[in-house]
Structure 1
Amino acid sequence: MSDLYNNGGSNNGPENNNGSYSYKKDEINQGESYYQWSPYDNGNKNKKQKKSTGFVGKLGRAVAIALVFGLVAGTAFQSVVYVSNRYLPMSASSEEKIESTETEDTAKSASGTALSTTSNKVSTTVTSDVSEIAENVLPAIVQVTNVGLTEYQTFFGTMQQETTSAGSGIIISQDDDYIYIATNNHVVAGAETLTITFNDGEAVEGTIKGTDSSCDLAVVAVAVSDIPSDTLSVIKVATLGDSDATVVGEAAIVIGNALGYGTSVTTGIVSAKDREVSITDEEGNLVTNSLIQTDAAVNPGNSGGALLNATGEVIGIVSAKLADESVEGMGYAIPISYAWDIIQQMIDNDVVSELDASYFGIAGKDITSEMSEQYDVPVGVYVAQVVAGSGAEAAGIEVDDVITSFNGRTVTSVNTLNNIMKYLPAGTTVEVTVAKASNNYEEETVEVTLTHKVDAVQ
């Protein structure tokens, strides 16, 4: 498989006389994916005829991908922010755009006692009246206002302009000192300040607790001491459902800060599950996730909001929608059963400092589902080079292997690996699932002790 990377015309690093590529030691780590794998047909025996499979395979068109949350400039709101020109095959007859949404976390009272939750069961019967569900859940939904700075070029040089964007969040967890709000990474990206507005209209400042750009998730923390007692008495922690048990056709409700004007409620059904949707994030990384599809209206500003079932349980974090004149009712949410472990890690852990940062010891490249199908290798991170003396080498990881799982989490890209690694200090031992090239890409699990990044690159 390695000859796929050594074909002339690839820009995957300095080429040696033997046609292979070398890497500087300080360029090699678990997450420095400075190039996207672009396989070339060189008569490789692993290459096979590409087949159309799944959501992307069946849909034969390309659509522009865009993150969606309402922009606010003074009192005016922009409906859509287009952040990418990445294309995804779709079946619609005209160009379509995908947009994203956001969510938040939890709260508790000043005395340290847990707030009431939105766990009251309402009805499992599909009905057009969801007022009781909305009344019960609205106290767990917040508005997120992101104030940042955007640079632009003028005749006089680089200038900065303040920008304001609006999204949503879900109060999802609590401890003695903070409430935690789950939302999308794209909702908080680039924030100079974050303002959290609760359902009673009270607004307080929040801080970013953690982010994971590989799955477009983030957690915002709000100090309990900053929240007025009257607000603490009425806000709630959302009740989480089991998105794995969700079935196509069941009732679905979306609650969020639509258009940045305030919280609103829309209804529909779960249209599909496990829809593979790709969006390019702010850093240019292609983010691909398996999402829940709904026809409940999703609008700019809904990013980070809640997708609920008929009992008022959160089954997804709204993140995207398909926007086009010829397309209606295609909104997407991150399944809560998948998102929760990632959110919990961000709540429980802080990003390690540069001095304590861990080092895996590989140069990696993404293998997408399309490449996996075409070249008959697993989806994950292809190992282009291994650093001598690193934890990866000590564990027996070799060039041409594919990393498919790291520390209990499925790995689909170098970006995913980076986001996992930033919470792990040097010296941590993790389980890594490796598809071995030497054994026809059969998977095996090895233990890797992560080294100290600063020492490893010297």
Structure 2
Amino acid sequence: MNEDQRPRPEGGRDGYESHSSPYGSWPGAESPQSPQSPQGDGAGTTSPYPGNPQNQPPQNQQPVFQQSPSSDNPNQKRGPRKVGLGAALALMLVGAVAAGSIVGVVATQFGPGSSFAQQESATEALRQEANDIPEPADGSVAHVAEEVLPAVVSIQAISRIGAGEGSGSIISPDGLVLTNHHVVADARDGGLQVTLNNGERHPAEYVASDPNTDIGIIQIQGVSGLPTLEFGDSDQLVVGQEVVAIGAPLGLSGTVTSGIVSALERPVRAVQGGGESSLIDAIQTDAAINPGNSGGPLVDMNGNLVGINSVIASLSTGDTAGSIGLGFAIPSNFAQRVSQQLVEDGEATQPMLGVSVDARDPIEGGALVASVQGGSPADEAGIREGEVITRVNDRVIDTADSLITAVRSHDFGETVTLEVLDPQTEDTREVEVTLTDE
């Protein structure tokens, strides 16, 4: 029996008490309500997954850039008035943004007294400046973007319940794309289209996905020789390290944002559509991630894939949610293992101890063992119902979710050392457990 599956009180799912994460939830998904924080304490609501098809605008809807209160309201009916050239260009720009494209206007202006020769001279100077732009330096955000963008795609998913957009990373030359389960799962019966960085559009087929870990694989049709992203070693990440996030927030494909690794080993549980729930041992980053970034890559300054952007925290909910500098990505080492299982077997399994833990966390500091499966690694190690697991190797365990994510972050057949507390006697002991997939 999996750690996160046990008999539960009526009203829960899969043996769990329904609960929500302080870090995130799907936009528009109905998740249990958290107690309201006292006014002024700065606490926010649960956050959305960026790119949930149920809560994305329709496929052809674009972000609306609102005017400030002091601006003229374009919706107010007024009499005809004359508009100068400058105003006309500004209105064209705003209108183009609302329509989904951005129109640039050359800032160079030639007065009535300027000669053709002067204009030619200025134009030549601009060409020379363009030719003098240096190549991006190795390790710069510009260099990373140049290397990574060709292997990042935008994903359009159309299902019976609506349309949505997400992002993905090309991981094989023949078009395998790594993304999030919540981006593609509702369109598994068709309706998947991929837009490459060069603007080419291709149909795609759903391969497999795993709701528990929010990882999905799709296959672009009719392509070969595509550029790919290389997997980096997410175990080598350190807090403060620079990273770059790439994707299609709000449908704006090829968007690049940068930041740092803010924290590691964050257990983040998010409610998906249909009552599904995913749990990831997340990389936290302040690189801006917004709806539409889901499934896109988080890369290091060498352009290696170190995470899959999956969840954001926000102070608002639904379509108004946006980045507040709290984004969460699935570590690449874990994503690579799960993606291989999905491609080879069509499903994914995780290493287990063979215990059920109490998701309500009735005690402080640790994961309470609700039951132990007979013949499991935990049973053979002598772990008993009612005991509390407080550490896995050097990692402190303070919740049921942190135990689950800590175990999943290890590999099949690996031996870990658990610190176990007996609440009755307050005695602790260490036991070694070899993880299995059964």
Per the normalisation by structure 1, the TM-score is 0.54
Distance 1:442 1:208 in 2: 45
Greater Rg over alpha carbons, structure: 2
TM-fit CA distance, 1:269: 2.9
Partner of 1:67: 49
TM-fit CA distance, 1:301: 0.7
Q: 1:346 aligned to 2:339?
A: yes
Alignment of 1:147-166 (within 5 A): 147-150=158-161, 163-166=162-165
Asked whether the equivalents of residues 51 and 164 of structure 2 are also in contact (C-alpha less than 8 Å), the reply is: yes
What SS does structure 2 have at the residue aligned with 1:67?
Answer: coil
Partner of 1:270: 260
Q: 1:198 to 1:442 in 2, by over 3 A?
A: farther
Q: 1:442 to 1:353 in 2, by over 3 A?
A: same
Q: 1:291 aligned to 2:283?
A: yes
Alignment of 1:107-146 (within 5 A): 122-124=137-139, 130-146=141-157
Q: Which of 408, 424, 431 matches 1:444? A: 431
Distance 1:404 1:334 in 2: 25
What SS does structure 1 have at the residue aligned with 2:259?
Answer: strand
Q: 1:449 to 1:78 in 2, by over 3 A?
A: same
What SS does structure 2 have at the residue aligned with 1:73?
Answer: coil
TM-fit CA distance, 1:245: 4.0
Asked whether the equivalents of residues 278 and 289 of structure 1 are also in contact (C-alpha less than 8 Å), the reply is: yes
List alignment gaps of at least 5 residues for structure 1: 1-10, 15-26, 39-58, 80-119, 151-162, 452-458
Asked whether the equivalents of residues 122 and 311 of structure 1 are also in contact (C-alpha less than 8 Å), the reply is: no
Q: 1:183 to 1:448 in 2, by over 3 A?
A: closer
TM-fit CA distance, 1:61: 2.0
What SS does structure 1 have at the residue aligned with 2:333?
Answer: helix
TM-fit CA distance, 1:303: 1.4
TM-fit CA distance, 1:73: 2.3
Distance 2:57 2:223 in 1: 26
Q: 1:174 aligned to 2:172?
A: yes
Alignment of 1:223-242 (within 5 A): 226-229=221-224, 232=225, 234-238=226-230, 240=232
List alignment gaps of at least 5 residues for structure 2: 1-6, 21-40, 65-134
Give the structure with the higher percent strand. Answer: 1
Partner of 1:280: 270
Asked whether the equivalents of residues 168 and 183 of structure 1 are also in contact (C-alpha less than 8 Å), the reply is: yes
Partner of 2:371: 385
Q: Which of 281, 296, 312 matches 1:305? A: 296
Whichever residue aligns with residue 313 of structure 1, its letter is N
What SS does structure 2 have at the residue aligned with 1:76?
Answer: coil
Distance 2:387 2:415 in 1: 15
Q: 1:434 to 1:310 in 2, by over 3 A?
A: closer
Partner of 2:68: none
Partner of 1:398: 384
TM-fit CA distance, 1:220: 0.8
Whichever residue aligns with residue 146 of structure 1, its letter is A
Per the normalisation by structure 2, the TM-score is 0.57
Asked whether the equivalents of residues 181 and 221 of structure 1 are also in contact (C-alpha less than 8 Å), the reply is: yes
Distance 1:68 1:386 in 2: 37
Distance 2:18 2:266 in 1: 19
Deviates more, 1:321-330 or 1:195-204: 321-330
Asked whether the equivalents of residues 143 and 196 of structure 1 are also in contact (C-alpha less than 8 Å), the reply is: yes
TM-fit CA distance, 1:293: 2.1
Q: 1:435 to 1:142 in 2, by over 3 A?
A: same
Partner of 1:364: 357
Q: 1:432 to 1:32 in 2, by over 3 A?
A: farther
Distance 1:37 1:299 in 2: 24
TM-fit CA distance, 1:136: 2.0
Q: 1:188 aligned to 2:184?
A: yes
Q: 1:293 to 1:357 in 2, by over 3 A?
A: closer
Distance 1:74 1:67 in 2: 17
Partner of 2:61: 76
Distance 1:353 1:322 in 2: 28
Distance 1:419 1:274 in 2: 12
Q: 1:33 aligned to 2:44?
A: no
Asked whether the equivalents of residues 403 and 432 of structure 1 are also in contact (C-alpha less than 8 Å), the reply is: no
The share of aligned pairs that are identical, in percent, is 21
- Aligned residue pairs total 322
Distance 1:399 1:235 in 2: 51
Asked whether the equivalents of residues 186 and 281 of structure 1 are also in contact (C-alpha less than 8 Å), the reply is: no
Whichever residue aligns with residue 135 of structure 1, its letter is E
Q: 1:401 to 1:121 in 2, by over 3 A?
A: farther
TM-fit CA distance, 1:387: 4.9
Alignment of 1:13-28 (within 5 A): none
Whichever residue aligns with residue 197 of structure 2, its letter is N
Q: 1:222 to 1:377 in 2, by over 3 A?
A: same
Q: 1:206 to 1:450 in 2, by over 3 A?
A: closer
Q: 1:358 to 1:279 in 2, by over 3 A?
A: closer
Asked whether the equivalents of residues 65 and 278 of structure 1 are also in contact (C-alpha less than 8 Å), the reply is: no
Asked whether the equivalents of residues 121 and 311 of structure 1 are also in contact (C-alpha less than 8 Å), the reply is: no
Deviates more, 1:395-404 or 1:201-210: 395-404
Distance 1:303 1:410 in 2: 29
TM-fit CA distance, 1:391: 6.5
Asked whether the equivalents of residues 196 and 206 of structure 1 are also in contact (C-alpha less than 8 Å), the reply is: no
